[in-house]
Amino acid sequence: MASYYETNLQHISEELKRIDLMLHLQILKMRLKNRVTNEFGGFCISDEEIDAILDLDNTHPASESDDPRIQALKRYISDIKLEIELKKEESQKKGIKLKLSSLAGIFNLTSFEVDIILIGMASELDTKYERLYAYLQNDATKRQPGVDLILNLLCSSSEEKVYARQYFYADSSLFKNKIVQFVEDRVQRPLLSRFIRVDDRTINYLLGLSQIDEKIGFFSELTRIQTNLKEIQLSEELHRKILNFSTFWKKTVGRRTCFLQGPRGAGKKTIAQGVSWELDTALLIVDIPTLINREANFEESVSRIFREAVLQDSAVYLDHFERLFSEDAKNIHYKNILFKALEDYNGIAFIASDEVLELSGELQKDLFKIEIPTLDYEMRRTVWNTSLNRTFDREDISALANKFKFTAGQINDAITSAEKLAVLEGRDDITIDDLYHGCRLQSNQKLTALAKRIRPKYGWGDIILPKEKTEQLREVTNYIKNKGIVYHDWGFDNKLSLGKGLNILFSGPSGTGKTMAAEVIASELGLDLYKIDLSMVVSKYIGETEKNLNRIFKEAEESNAILFFDEADALFGKRSEVQDSHDRYANIEINYLLQKMEENEGIVILATNLSKNIDDAFLRRMHFTIEFPFPEEEYRYKIWKSLFPEEAPLSDDIDYGFLAKRFKLSGGNIKNIVVNAAFLAAENSGVIAMEEVIKAAKREFQKIGKICSQ
């Protein structure tokens, strides 16, 4: 016979044989006291059936002390227990892992608690125990072990039973760690009348099965990915910090917590995987938003998460931790639960947030905080070059790095999206247009709550302005195209702390092309354009306007989008003298907006009918101020000609010179006339003639309150 256990299951099997002997002993004791009847609520488990299961001799001595079988069985059980302990020690020396011993060590369980687990799990492994438990509990329906039965099996006196009740309390190691649970019962019963079962995850662990707890599987994932910290695309300084704290963690034990803060795709998860690999541990990734949205019993789920980390000997990665930091009462409660669990957890944990958070309390003491900034222009250019499978022009890569302030993860996702687009269109290689498409897909779409996304459809050939104005618009696009060269290559970035964005003011009468110009800029740069809905931004409630503005600028930065404030007078108007509280709060809003424009590094376009209505403080912060004049006859002529599509059926009698000279209208009004004339023609002759144009012009003049004289 082996002096040690060659496998974990050998140990479990021998422990269950010891439980069999304990059940045998209890049956002998019960028969001696005539405590077993054959009436089980309409069911019957006979003495003969039990004798057959345990191979017993059905005779009844006078008393327990007089029964040689009972005394011999007690000695035998004691000898078996000693033999098991010796074999466990030998197995440990040989490096053989016994899960029951590991579980006891992890949760500091006593031998009494280990026996509770064995009694509870026995019926999960062999249905014979269900019949044995029913027999011993004098009820064929009671097939799980009750507290009273367990105490009878494991205790030899009333004093021991009283002391052992503590192992079934909620704060005991067995119940606190969800190793053992009470069987659900609609009736509130006293402790002795309650029944227990061993948690499924505990049983799987003891059997050597490594799958994570199915109750946390929907929002958790266990990973062990080989990740070289030196190969992660980060700045040299950040690399050094991460390697330093990783080396420090190798030398320490106990609670080790790291707070990783950085934008989406910055590499937080990759860093955690790299550190975990260095420490030779797995990583349990938990998605906090999914946990919040799907779990009714948050506290139990959190308990299971950290128990799983202990069982798997893994680090914990809490992703999107920022979701817990809101004024919502439920989230505040959840945050407190998770903070308490982190403080009690004696292992490695990573807290990951896309946003800047202030962590306080006991957790702050041993916390490593690592901020992962957005990649600078040169790093973005490097990541683009190293991530692409084919070579693009240096100017194209520089433009992408300049226009999209992406993280390494977002760059790789953009490339993947571009590759998928090429596959759908039957092409082997991706184009620069594919990459721009992929970049726009990565941009944050949350702006749609406070703004309308405009899909640019106009180009330089569509906008008709005096040459000087067109040149100014081209200067705007060139500013963005050359931003990387000026700020990074030429060192101007080090000279400026604020004001690195681009603020543009378009002023001029309605319909003169301000919105079209914004679209042309967006189209030329390949960026999204969002028109801000001021009715959703400006609020009568104190502080709400500032919150909305903060949200707009924050999400615009994440979106790499152009912000377009049309009719900006409502928000950017002149500050007033403070005569009442309303004036004071209105001026606070304007000052806050000035601050956000200073901090913003993106593109902001303001449009107003009259530039004199804009506060001087805003005007001083404008990089470009472009006046859109009411079109003269020369430009009205070009506008009329440009608005009729080539496909449109035009009559030869259309006189563009007459229309330009006779109707002094803005481009917006002319566009309305052209479209309405087309509808009139579609209903009548099917050809757009001067008759329809003149009629549509009359309607347009009526609409704007003017008289049309032919």
CATH number at residue 609: 3.40.50.300
CB neighbourhood size of 655 (10 A): 13
Tell me: pLDDT of 14 over 80: yes
Whether residues 98 and 144 fall in one domain: yes
- Write down the pLDDT at residue 47: 63
499 phi/psi in degrees, rounded to 5: 75, 30
- Write down the pLDDT at residue 584: 47
Tokens of 646: 């080539």
- Does some domain include residue 472? yes
- Write down the pLDDT at residue 68: 82
Confidence of residue 446 (pLDDT cuts 50, 70, 90): low
- Least confidently predicted of 82-91, 492-501, 573-582: 573-582
Distance CA 89, CA 4 (A): 8
Tell me: pLDDT of 448 over 80: no
- Does some domain include residue 612? yes
Number of folded domains in the chain?
5
Number of DSSP helices (H) and strands (E) in the chain, helices first? 31, 14
Whether residues 405 and 344 fall in one domain: no
- Write down the pLDDT at residue 566: 84
3-state helix, strand, coil in the chain (%, to 5): 55, 10, 35
- The model's pTM is 0.75
Q: Which residues contact 537 (CB under 8 A, 6 or more apart)?
A: 450, 545, 548, 549, 552, 571
Of 310, 345, 371, the residue that ends a domain is 371
* DSSP alpha helix (H) spans, 180-235: 200-206
pLDDT in tens, 401-427: 888 888 888 899 999 999 999 999 999
CA proximity to 358, closest of 289, 263, 261: 261
CA proximity to 472, closest of 441, 440, 508: 508
Q: What is the identity of the amino acid at 661? A: K
Of 371, 392, 413, the residue that ends a domain is 371
Confidence of residue 204 (pLDDT cuts 50, 70, 90): very high
Tell me: pLDDT of 358 over 90: no
Whether residues 355 and 265 fall in one domain: yes
Tell me: pLDDT of 39 over 50: no
Distance CA 49, CA 55 (A): 10
Tell me: pLDDT of 57 over 70: no
Tell me: pLDDT of 65 over 80: no
Phi-psi region of 591 (alpha: psi -120 to 50; beta: other; left: phi over 0): alpha
Comparing 323 with 542, which gets the higher pLDDT? 323
Rounded mean pLDDT, 254-278: 89
CA proximity to 455, closest of 395, 400, 522: 522
- Write down the pLDDT at residue 608: 85
Rounded mean pLDDT, 91-98: 92
Whether residues 478 and 353 fall in one domain: no
Most confident stretch, 10-19, 250-259, 394-403, 613-622: 10-19
Tell me: pLDDT of 535 over 60: yes
Distance CA 599, CA 618 (A): 13
Whether residues 43 and 149 fall in one domain: yes
Whether residues 494 and 427 fall in one domain: no
Mean pLDDT, all residues of the chain: 85
- Write down the pLDDT at residue 444: 61
What percent of the chain has a predicted confidence (pLDDT) above 70? 89
Query: In the chain, what's the furthest Cα-to-Cα distance?
Result: 129
CA angle in degrees (0–180, nearest 5) for 629-631-634 = 135
Comparing 5 with 538, which gets the higher pLDDT? 5
Distance CA 39, CA 62 (A): 24
Distance CA 627, CA 630 (A): 10
Tokens of 107: 């949760």
pLDDT in tens, 543-591: 777 888 888 888 777 778 899 988 777 666 554 444 444 444 456 677 7
Core vs surface per residue 113-127: b (16+ CB within 10 A) or e: bbbbbbbbbbbbeee
CA angle in degrees (0–180, nearest 5) for 643-534-616 = 95
DSSP assignment of 334-399 equals HHHHHHHHHHH--SEEEEEESS-----GGGGTTEEEEE-PPP-HHHHHHHHHHH-SS---HHHHHH
678 phi/psi in degrees, rounded to 5: -65, -40
Confidence of residue 160 (pLDDT cuts 50, 70, 90): very high
Whether residues 526 and 596 fall in one domain: yes
Query: Angle of helix 8-32 relative to helix 68-93, nearest 10 degrees?
Result: 170
CA angle in degrees (0–180, nearest 5) for 160-166-167 = 95
DSSP assignment of 566-602 equals TTTHHHHBPPPP--SHHHHHHHHHHHHHHHHHHH--S
Whether residues 309 and 420 fall in one domain: no
- Does some domain include residue 458? no
- Write down the pLDDT at residue 288: 94
Whether residues 489 and 541 fall in one domain: yes
Helix (H) / strand (E) element for 238: namely helix 236-250
207 phi/psi in degrees, rounded to 5: -85, 0
- Write down the pLDDT at residue 416: 92
- Write down the pLDDT at residue 561: 85
Rounded mean pLDDT, 515-543: 83
Q: Residue 261: beta bridge partners? A: 353, 371
CATH number at residue 685: 1.10.8.60
- Write down the pLDDT at residue 184: 84
Tell me: pLDDT of 677 over 80: yes
- Does some domain include residue 507? yes
- Least confidently predicted of 56-65, 150-159, 246-255, 585-594: 56-65
Helix (H, G, I), strand (E, B) or coil at 197: strand
Confidence of residue 293 (pLDDT cuts 50, 70, 90): confident
- Does some domain include residue 524? yes
Whether residues 21 and 166 fall in one domain: yes
Comparing 164 with 235, which gets the higher pLDDT? 164
Q: Which residues constitute the domain of residue 640?
A: 633-703
pLDDT in tens, 111-156: 999 999 999 999 999 999 999 999 999 888 889 999 999 999 999 8
* DSSP alpha helix (H) spans, 47-146: 47-54, 68-93, 99-106, 111-125, 128-136
What is the number of alpha carbons within 13 Å of residue 297 lying toward its C-beta? Answer: 7
Of 601, 627, 653, the residue that ends a domain is 627
**How far from 396 is each of 94, 399, 520, CA to CA, in Å?**
62, 5, 19
- Does some domain include residue 708? no
Whether residues 170 and 39 fall in one domain: yes
Rounded mean pLDDT, 677-686: 89
Tell me: pLDDT of 431 over 80: yes
- Write down the pLDDT at residue 150: 95
Rounded mean pLDDT, 103-117: 95
Distance CA 278, CA 280 (A): 5
- Does some domain include residue 509? yes
Query: Is beta strand 451-454 parallel, antiparallel or unpaired with respect to 529-532?
Result: antiparallel
Confidence of residue 286 (pLDDT cuts 50, 70, 90): very high
Rounded mean pLDDT, 163-185: 93
**How far from 495 is each of 378, 404, 490, 491, 622, CA to CA, in Å?**
17, 22, 11, 7, 19
Tell me: pLDDT of 230 over 80: no
Tell me: pLDDT of 528 over 60: yes
Tokens of 192: 């002795």
Q: Residue 220: beta bridge partners? A: 286
- Least confidently predicted of 171-175, 307-311, 424-428: 424-428
- Does some domain include residue 14? yes
Core vs surface per residue 506-518: b (16+ CB within 10 A) or e: bbbeebbbbbbbb
Helix (H, G, I), strand (E, B) or coil at 680: helix
- Write down the pLDDT at residue 405: 86
Rounded mean pLDDT, 588-617: 80
Tell me: pLDDT of 462 over 50: yes
Confidence of residue 21 (pLDDT cuts 50, 70, 90): very high
Whether residues 601 and 656 fall in one domain: no
